A and B are shown apart, each in its own frame.
Chain A
Amino acid sequence: MIDVIDLKKSFGKLEVLKGVNVKIEKGDIVCVIGPSGSGKSTFLRCLNCMEDPTGGQIIFHGVNIADMRVDINLHRRKIGMVFQQFNLFNNKTVIENIMLAPVHVGVSDLRNAKLHNFFLPLTNMFRKKKNKKSALEITQTKAQIKEEARKNALHLLERIGLSDKADVYPSTLSGGQKQRVAIARALAMNPDVILFDEPTSALDPEMVGEVLDLMRELAEDGMTMVVVTHEMGFAREVASRILFMDQGVILEEADPKSFFESPKHQRTQEFLSKVL
């Protein structure tokens, strides 16, 4: 689904990624681990072009989204992202946080379709007979879009066990609750893949569990995930593949069992002996 080819990224003179090649298939749960400064967060942020790559390609559903001419916003709708610092919208309630993007996307699509249909007689005048375009179908009104998004959001809140928090502001939630809402917000767009950028690193040890449990559930439902994490236990248990990064390259790529039990690369052995 995501095909990363020779991905390079540098900040000024500092070269952070020095040619990364990965293939992420549907249903994969890829855990990226490595020492700090190894470029794993940058790699993850390049996958949805939060950082524009300076070289290489990222093929998502057959389109190279690293190309600056591509409308990245269209593709980001299908790539969810969960941040270390949660980044919930502070001026919106929990349910508004979850609804915001689906409603915006639905309404702007509706508006574009209406505009298209409105100007269609005019634009079709200049087209040859076989090229004439037909009107786009409009199935929902604005109110229906909102209602559906609300229903979906409530359903998601129920799933993460925070139905009673729908109308409170994020500042009143605990860290673990915030992160679960952030995951629900990503899920609300029905993404094909979710990127997790150290989702448990800013949490109290006590709250790590609830977030990891939710991620485990997602994994069981077959969601494709790319997780940058320091939770070795989680990686070992849930991941279908593990990438070990150091100095901007992927040193080792293996399934969890062979990765943790018989690491091949010397640097990997060093790292594992320190963290395990």
Chain B
Amino acid sequence: MADIAIRWSKFWRSFWINEGYIRVFSEGLKNTLIIAVVGLIIGIVIGTLIAAVKVMPKYKILPRILDKILALYVGFFRGTPIVVQLLLAYFVIFPMVGINIGSINTCVLVFGLNSGAYISEMMRAGIQSVDPGQMEAGRALGMSYSVTMMKIIVPQAVKNILPTLGNEFIALIKETSVASFVAVVDLYKVFTEIGTSNYEYLIPYLFMAIIYIVLVMLITLGIKIMERRLQKSDRRN
């Protein structure tokens, strides 16, 4: 018990008295959230576009070529670990083409591309779960394929896959803990720093776990609220 008290006082010194908490919230938490949220938004946009191409009728040549290219993309991002993709992007591809967009932006981009590959498959399932008659009705009114997709099909598809999309967001938030591989100061990084400052890791890491759990619980709650709001077009209300 005395042991815990000493550990706690050590942690408290570096976390509160030496103002470690400022860094935790203004850098660690902030970067983690930026990477996860912006990554998810990029992922949703990319995933939706890929899914829309995938469910396109395939009798024209262009969708067929696009389909093959996108299959490659999805195959690569689902076939390699996110750490490998991060390292490749940060240490190989960007230096090779000679652009430097900073480590956080690299993370946002890679996480976005990565989740785009996963979300494309979810979105495809969602789009295919919408009654084909909806597309027919839109087309019969003289709206183009893409307009009907965006205004009618995708909103219904998103509603259908919202729980899965929430899963993806939760997975994304937790995966951001590998961002420190490319020198991003995320939650994991700041708590490691706090631990290193006085060789006391037990409580910082416990604290880190609690922050992640709270984040995930908040997301779960947010998704429940969104689901309830989207259900207003269902009969059961």
Which A residues contact B (CB, under 8 angstroms)?
Answer: 48, 50, 73-81, 83, 85, 87-92, 100-101, 104-105, 108, 169, 171-172, 182, 185-186, 189
Contact = CB atoms under 8 A, between A and B. Distances in A.
Given A83-B133, A169-B233, A171-B234, A50 B142 contact: no
Contacts of B206: none
Contact of A104 (B139, B147, B234): B147
B236 to A, nearest CB: 9
A89 B142 contact: no
B152 A91 contact: yes
B75 interface: no
Contacts, number: 72
Contacts of A185: 141
Contact of A101 (B131, B141, B233): B141
Interface in B120-147: 131, 133-134, 136-144, 147
A83 B155 contact: no
Interface centre among A76, A90, A92, A186 (most CB of B within 10 A): A90
B235 A100 contact: no
14 contacts: A73-B142, A73-B143, A76-B141, A87-B133, A89-B138, A91-B152, A91-B233, A100-B141, A100-B151, A101-B141, A171-B234, A171-B235, A185-B141, A186-B141
Interface string B211-226: 0000000000000000
Given A50-B139, A83-B136, 19 more contacts: A48-B140, A73-B139, A73-B143, A74-B142, A76-B139, A76-B141, A83-B137, A85-B133, A87-B133, A87-B136, A87-B137, A89-B134, A91-B155, A101-B143, A108-B147, A169-B233, A171-B233, A171-B234, A189-B141
Contacts of A189: 141-142
B137 A91 contact: no
A76 to B, nearest CB: 4
A88 B140 contact: no
Contacts of A172: 235
B interface: dominant SS: helix
Interface of B: 131, 133-134, 136-144, 147, 151-152, 155-156, 159, 232-235
B235 A105 contact: no
**What 6 A-B pairs come out closest when comparing CB atoms?**
A77-B142, A87-B137, A87-B133, A81-B140, A101-B141, A76-B142
Contacts of B151: 100, 104
Nearest to B133: A87
Contacts of A108: 147
Contacts of A75: 142
B141 A90 contact: no
B140 A90 contact: no
A89 B149 CA distance: 12
B132 to A, nearest CB: 9
A50 B143 contact: no
A104 B152 CA distance: 12
Contacts of A48: 140
Given A171-B233, A172-B235, A50 B133 contact: no
Contacts of A50: 136, 139-140
A172 B234 CA distance: 8
A73 B139 CA distance: 7
A269 B95 CA distance: 81
Contacts of B142: 73-78, 101, 105, 189
Nearest to A169: B233
Nearest to B156: A91
A91 B130 CA distance: 11
A171 B143 CA distance: 23
B233 A90 contact: yes
B134 A90 contact: yes
Given A104-B143, A104-B147, A189-B142, A89 B152 contact: yes
Nearest to A78: B142
Interface centre among B134, B142, B155 (most CB of A within 10 A): B142
Contacts of B136: 50, 83, 87
A81 B138 CA distance: 10
Nearest to B157: A91
Contact of A73 (B144, B156, B234): B144
B156 A90 contact: yes
Nearest to A102: B141
B152 to A, nearest CB: 5
B146 to A, nearest CB: 11
A93 to B, nearest CB: 8
Contacts of B155: 91
